């Protein structure tokens, strides 16, 4: 048979056959699974392991070759999940079938046989020999050239965090990405971030490009939802790394005196920067938001307003009579040359001031000595006696 579309083929009855040999030839890329069922009922089709000549058994077929299927069900079919090109399939029933690779492996690893297996695996490792999760070993391809054509039927994304989805070819069409937890439970459009571009994420690209799609649902699907011409082709690589998100590096906002984030600043009362002192457009008279300002005349700093410690205004160092910021009367002027009792002359007043200064200085100078004498109980000359010193007389 010739297979050039995705999806399952018609059921094949394998009654009286112990196994079948399936030969897949042609120039193609895709994913092929051999499924088996006992009664062909809905939901009964399950993948069958296939043996490769001189190889290890597998479920998914991605290359041309000859494969052996040991039958456990009456009906089989070929299900194609992604296809580019055309497959020529030849199926031959066998009345007897040799042991598969899995059968030989089970026999050798039987605990009762005593056979030890020398099994080696090639795991991806870094320079420190630590295991590194690997991406899918093969890229999955698909194509379509009609409206509602399914380019990728149902790709199982189990074990992967994202998908690198690339569209290529010459076409005029819209390809939509879908994901689902159950292929029969409905498909939901999923957006992918474009790589190397400034476009927003989209679930329905219309041109060639590469997108990083998060593997949220278990299954991924791609379909043509609007078609004009050409043949859009798709390639998918399941990745271990999380999906790329361009919002981790926000785009800078354009900012200048005229606009902020695309909003004119010259219009008061709307979004954007509020105009200060009125509209700030060139050649426009300010009409709103006046801001009173205070200024200093730098050319003549003597022209200033001052106040004293009591808050009374002074103009050029002079105190205006009867004027203060608090409407207070100025203090009366006192003649300090007159004595309180009116009997002391100026020399006597000066002598009294000098005596008090001498007493104060003596206290300060003799304080350590007086403290020491007070501790030891000794006596000392009281500096206050200087006030009655007969030598302190005026002449």
Identify the pLDDT of residue 62: 86
68 and 150 both lie in a single domain: no
Greatest mean pLDDT among 26-35, 355-364, 382-391 = 26-35
Lowest mean pLDDT among 63-72, 187-196, 312-321: 312-321
pLDDT digits (tens, 9 = 90+) for 256-274: 455 555 555 554 444 445 4
Note whether residue 126 is domain-resident: no
Please provide the DSSP assignment of 148-208 as one string: T-EEEEEEE-TT-SEEEEEEESSEEEEEEEEEESSTTS--EE--BEETTS-PPPBSS--SS
CATH number at residue 219: 2.60.120.380
Q: How far apart are CA 115 and CA 117, in angstroms?
A: 6
180 and 230 both lie in a single domain: yes
329 and 356 both lie in a single domain: no
Confidence band for 343, pLDDT divided at 50, 70 and 90: low
The neighbouring-strand residues paired with 286 are none
Q: How many structural domains is the chain composed of?
A: 4
Note whether residue 56 is domain-resident: yes
Which of 95, 67, 89, 82 lies closest to 7, judged by CA? 82
Q: How far apart are CA 77 and CA 170, in angstroms?
A: 33
Greatest mean pLDDT among 309-313, 325-329, 344-348, 383-387 = 344-348
Range of the domain at 14: 2-108
Note whether residue 133 is domain-resident: no
145 and 71 both lie in a single domain: no
pLDDT digits (tens, 9 = 90+) for 300-320: 555 555 566 666 665 554 444
pLDDT digits (tens, 9 = 90+) for 225-241: 999 999 999 999 999 88
| Helix, strand, coil abundance in the chain, percent, nearest 5 | 10, 35, 55
Beta strands in 9-148, from DSSP E residues, in sequence order: 12-13, 19-25, 28-37, 46-47, 51-52, 60-61, 65-70, 75-85, 87-94, 140-143
327 and 355 both lie in a single domain: no
Average pLDDT, the chain: 76
């Amino acid at each position: 048979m010739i297979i050039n579309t995705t999806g399952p083929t018609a059921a094949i009855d394998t009654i009286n056959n112990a196994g079948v040999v399936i030969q897949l030839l042609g120039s193609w890329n895709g994913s092929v699974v051999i499924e088996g069922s006992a009664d062909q009922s809905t939901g009964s089709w399950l993948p069958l392991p296939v043996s490769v000549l001189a190889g290890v058994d597998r479920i998914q077929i991605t290359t041309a070759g000859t494969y052996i299927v040991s039958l456990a069900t009456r009906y089989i079919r070929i299900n194609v999940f992604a296809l580019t090109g055309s497959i020529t399939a030849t199926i031959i029933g066998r009345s007897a079938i040799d042991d598969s690779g899995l059968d030989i492996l089970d026999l050798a690893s039987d605990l009762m046989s005593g056979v030890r297996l020398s099994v080696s695996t090639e795991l991806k490792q870094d320079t420190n020999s630590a295991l590194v999760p690997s991406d899918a070993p093969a890229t999955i391809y698909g194509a379509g050239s009609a409206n509602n054509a399914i380019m990728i039927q149902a790709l199982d994304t189990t074990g992967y965090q994202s998908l690198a989805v690339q569209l290529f070819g010459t076409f005029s069409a819209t390809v939509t990405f879908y994901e689902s937890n159950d292929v029969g439970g409905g498909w939901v459009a999923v957006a992918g971030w474009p790589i190397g571009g400034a476009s927003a994420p989209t679930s329905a690209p219309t041109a060639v490009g590469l997108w990083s799609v998060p593997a949220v649902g278990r299954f991924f699907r791609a379909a043509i939802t609007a078609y004009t011409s050409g043949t859009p082709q798709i390639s998918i690589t399941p990745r271990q790394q999380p999906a790329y998100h361009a919002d981790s590096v926000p785009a800078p906002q354009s900012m200048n005196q005229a606009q902020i984030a695309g909003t004119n600043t010259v219009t008061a009362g709307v979004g954007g920067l509020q105009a200060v002192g009125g509209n700030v457009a060139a050649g426009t008279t300010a009409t709103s938001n006046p801001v009173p300002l205070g200024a200093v005349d730098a050319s003549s700093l003597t022209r200033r307003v001052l106040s004293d410690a009591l808050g009374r205004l002074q103009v050029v160092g002079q105190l205006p009579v009867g004027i203060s910021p608090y409407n207070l009367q100025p203090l009366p002027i006192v003649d300090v040359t007159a004595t309180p009792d009116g009997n002391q002359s100026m020399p006597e007043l000066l002598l009294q001031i000098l005596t008090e200064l001498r007493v104060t200085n003596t206290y300060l100078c003799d304080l350590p000595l007086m403290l020491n004498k007070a501790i030891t109980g000794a006596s000392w000359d009281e500096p206050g006696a200087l006030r009655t010193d007969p030598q302190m007389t005026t002449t």
